[in-house]
Amino acid sequence: MAGRIASTSFTGKEDTTMLVPRAPVVALIAGLFSIGVIQAAENTPAELFNRAEQLHAKGRYAEAEPLYKESLATREQVPGPDRPEIIPVLNALADLYHVQGRDREAEPLSRRALTLGERMLPLQDLALVASLTTLGDINRSTYRYVSAELLYRRAMAILQLTLGPAHPSVARVLSNLASLRVDTQRYDEAAQLFQRALEISERAGQASSFQVAVILNNMAVCAIERGRYAAAEPYLQRAMRIREAVPPSDDPMMISLLETYAQVLRKTRRASLAKQVDVRVAFLRQGGSQK
């Protein structure tokens, strides 16, 4: 296994991650990001949605799913046509299914969200970006690379027009496009796109530190895919330093980085160090603290 490619999406809260299977040698870490603000009150659909997002971000999918469904059902009970408020719920539930490999369930929800957004929102509305990127991720994971690229590029066009070409959200889509290049073994192009995404994210400062870590992970995986293990190591080490500053002890991205780092250590004939990293991974998986 070459490592785990990280893909950023726009369906939940920023600076949270989920680790999920990906075909056949890579995986996604979906960094959840909410576009828009939903005012929450206890036991309202918005509160259910927010609680589901928190569980989703922690990888507690079985607990998040019924909350998303209840939030969606409550909103759909309101008389009249569909409302824009259901779009983020559809996107989030689609992403929840997608990260579990349940793309047959995810795709209809994602397509419905995009169709509603196209009908009910301005064509340059940022809320469409979540639908486009989620559907792009689903297409990518089901090997429909041309369709995935078209969706990502449409999302990027909206972001560049509304936020400018140097906005961190543009870097997120650039990273997804670069990951698509890794999937299709176009490594030179992937490296260039990752570099552009990294430069944009670094200029954004501390607010984009999670995104920087994701892109560094991706650059490492791209190098590993090419058999360049020594080149991958500095990227992983820098990404791990960023994630070590994050309080949660069960950070799934940190666990993934460590697993990839252990792989690099073994490939560069440092098995004893790799075993030490394995011990740390096991400790974190059991709920141990990074500190």
CB 151 within 8 A of CB 136: yes
- Greater confidence (64 vs 208) lies with 64
Q: Which of 52-66, 119-133, 146-160 has the highest mean pLDDT?
A: 146-160
Question: What does the pLDDT look like over 130-179, one tens digit per residue?
Answer: 999 999 999 999 999 999 999 999 999 999 999 999 999 999 999 999 99
Helices and strands, number each (H, E), in the chain: 12, 2
- Name the CATH architecture for the domain at 19-228: Alpha Horseshoe (1.25)
Question: What does the pLDDT look like over 248-286, one tens digit per residue?
Answer: 645 778 999 999 999 999 999 999 999 999 999 999 888
Q: Where are the domains of the chain?
A: 19-228
Q: What is the pLDDT of residue 290?
A: 61
Distances (CA, A) of 67 to 47, 74, 94, 118: 9, 10, 13, 26
Q: Tell me, what DSSP letter sits at residue 8? A: B
